[in-house]
Structure 1
Amino acid sequence: QRLGIEARFRHGVRVTDEATMEIVEMVLAGKINMEIVDLLNRHGGLAVGLSGKDGGLMLSRPLTAKAWAASLEKDLDDGEGDEDFGLVGEVQSIDPTLVRKLQQDHYIPVIAPIGTNREGNTYNINADLVAGAMAAALGAEKLVMMTDVKGIRDANGRHLSTVSRKDVQRMVKKGTIGEGMLPKVHACLDALGGGVSKAHIIDGRIPHAILLEVFTRKGIGTEITS
């Protein structure tokens, strides 16, 4: 807002032009990443800031509107035709070698969702989608998505404590799951498809949210099973 650049979203995806991309990289890989690293370190962790560009961590490619529609199994007929998302990318592949080395030495990697292709072009990738792809690449047992809502709700607005992957896919197709939740759900489905056993969407504002979700019978968010 201070720079006079209006944020524009299309079906949960931030449309990114060159001017916006420069700011996104500066903020995500710089300011926000460093703030998270500092908070973790001040609370006893050993955090290291990275982006998808570091150490060949993440290869990306442009995300087209057609590919996004296909991944959600729905039609994006919103009057904008086949207009794409600009410099928005998707994960093409992940080499988890660097992250594994950091984990072996007990460091916590904090990864900014900025990727590059083989030609060196930079792309803004949705952080949820990066998390899902990273969980699959690392062979994680769980993926936990922290947000500011309780989890997934059904068509009647009821919170769902546990739901299957197939049920979520049906809800996406019917439009039950809103645009703001689509990238998170898509990331969870990607992770489950990549071998992760369970994915969780929880309200990160609740104290001890991860512990309550993982170690109590009903949890506090939505658990998606494969």
Structure 2
Amino acid sequence: MSSDHHHGHNPADEARDLERANVLSEALPYMQQYDKRTIVVKYGGHAMGDEALGLEFARDIVLLKQSGIDPIVVHGGGPQIGAMLNRLGIKSEFSGGLRITDKATVEVVEMVLAGSINKNLVSLLNRAGGQAVGLCGKDGNLIVARKVEQKIHDPESNIEKILDLGFVGEPAKINPEILKTIIASDIIPVIAPVGVAPNGDTYNINADTAAGAIAGAMGATRLLLLTDVRGVLDKQGNLIEELTVDEAKALIKDGTISGGMIPKIETCIDAVEGGVEAVVIIDGRVRHSVLLELFTEHGAGTLITKKASA
């Protein structure tokens, strides 16, 4: 019996199919390298607002899970929080460019992060055939927070002042047991970066910082920070593909790394020093950037490690 009607003999289709098989075959050593290893992915920026990109991201994460990797997703949500504060008519005060998070604001932060954004992402992963569960830092005491002490230099008096940002926190302790339980059940955890203080107060935590702390506590092989830039660029604007912690610190000192990239790189340095094998800053606007980074030789973005790779 002929099965020609299933396939047909279109050379273009055959070439495409062969190309697909080749790509899968070449991914094998990478899949083996990351087998049963934890990869933390910080999802945010541009890709978040775009339904098609979101679904594609979800498929890529489910593919990681399917290939034996244990992905953990941590997400942010700055623009959505701002939009909801506007809708509710809650005015934010800023000091030194940083939002002061009062009681009313932190309630909205929690509502948006642990509510709509978290569940939307869980739903995308489930639609892509995964099994995802949403958590925030309060669940299982995952992220115990302490208040951030923000120092600012007052040029007038030449005195350093402590800036009170309200309910803005940083991870004081990560309790990863709940994540280990979820991962052992073959479920993908999706984490909103809201922490809880020992007295029960809710704290808004920067998503990059939360992802770095969780990656460290889980002994992750990789932390992938999805951003809206290609990675770390040198003075000429070329992508730097690999940096050691010491090189990264030097680039902050000499001004090559500046502005909003400084806290990102500091998060990377903290994560590597906290036990993550390597951190990668990748461009979330590039299609399949997570797969390109993990399953191809060239990767995408800037890799930051403790020491230079041999």
- Taking structure 2 as the reference length, the TM-score comes to 0.65
Q: Does 2:287 align with 1:197? A: no
Q: Which runs of 4+ in 1 moved over 6 A?
A: none
Structure 1, unmatched stretches of 5+, are 67-75
Q: 1:100 to 1:28 in 2, by over 3 A?
A: same
Q: Does 2:155 align with 1:82? A: no
Q: Which of 116, 121, 139 in structure 2 is aligned with 1:31?
A: 116
* Pairwise CA distance, 1:9: 7.2
Q: Note if contact 1:33-1:111 (Cα within 8 Å) is conserved in structure 2.
A: yes
Letter in 2 for 1:164: T
Letter in 2 for 1:23: V
* Pairwise CA distance, 1:147: 1.2
Greater mean alpha carbon deviation, residues 103-112 or residues 163-172: 163-172
In structure 2, C-alpha distance between the alignment counterparts of 1:128 and 1:91, rounded to whole Å: 11
Q: Which of 55, 61, 69 in structure 1 is aligned with 2:140?
A: 55
In structure 1, C-alpha distance between the alignment counterparts of 2:95 and 2:234, rounded to whole Å: 24
Which residue number corresponds to residue 69 of structure 1? none
Q: 1:166 to 1:109 in 2, by over 3 A?
A: same
Letter in 2 for 1:95: N
Letter in 1 for 2:115: G
Greater mean alpha carbon deviation, residues 15-24 or residues 79-88: 79-88
Q: Does 2:212 align with 1:127? A: no
- Taking structure 1 as the reference length, the TM-score comes to 0.88
In structure 1, C-alpha distance between the alignment counterparts of 2:110 and 2:162, rounded to whole Å: 26
Q: Does 2:245 align with 1:165? A: yes
| C-alpha RMSD of the superposition | 2.0
Pairs aligned (count): 216
* Pairwise CA distance, 1:152: 1.0
Greater mean alpha carbon deviation, residues 121-130 or residues 155-164: 155-164
Letter in 2 for 1:62: K
Q: How does 1:36-185 map to 2 (within 5 A)?
A: 36-66=121-151, 76-77=152-153, 81-185=161-265
SS in 2 for 1:39: helix
Q: 1:2 to 1:54 in 2, by over 3 A?
A: same
* Pairwise CA distance, 1:95: 0.9
Percent of aligned positions that are identical: 48
* Pairwise CA distance, 1:22: 1.2
* Pairwise CA distance, 1:14: 4.2
In structure 2, C-alpha distance between the alignment counterparts of 1:102 and 1:200, rounded to whole Å: 25
Letter in 1 for 2:165: F
1:95-129, CA deviations, whole angstroms, 9 ceiling, x for partnerless residues?
11000000001111111100111111111000110
In structure 1, C-alpha distance between the alignment counterparts of 2:254 and 2:175, rounded to whole Å: 35
Which residue number corresponds to residue 17 of structure 1? 102
Q: Note if contact 2:208-2:267 (Cα within 8 Å) is conserved in structure 1.
A: yes
1:131-172, CA deviations, whole angstroms, 9 ceiling, x for partnerless residues?
000001001111111111111112333221111111111222
* Pairwise CA distance, 1:20: 1.5
Which residue number corresponds to residue 222 of structure 1? 302
Considering fraction of residues, name the structure with more helix: 2
* Pairwise CA distance, 1:178: 3.0
In structure 2, C-alpha distance between the alignment counterparts of 1:26 and 1:173, rounded to whole Å: 38
Greater mean alpha carbon deviation, residues 166-175 or residues 1-10: 1-10
Q: 1:25 to 1:104 in 2, by over 3 A?
A: same
In structure 2, C-alpha distance between the alignment counterparts of 1:214 and 1:7, rounded to whole Å: 41
In structure 1, C-alpha distance between the alignment counterparts of 2:262 and 2:100, rounded to whole Å: 15
In structure 1, C-alpha distance between the alignment counterparts of 2:284 and 2:216, rounded to whole Å: 22
SS in 2 for 1:82: strand
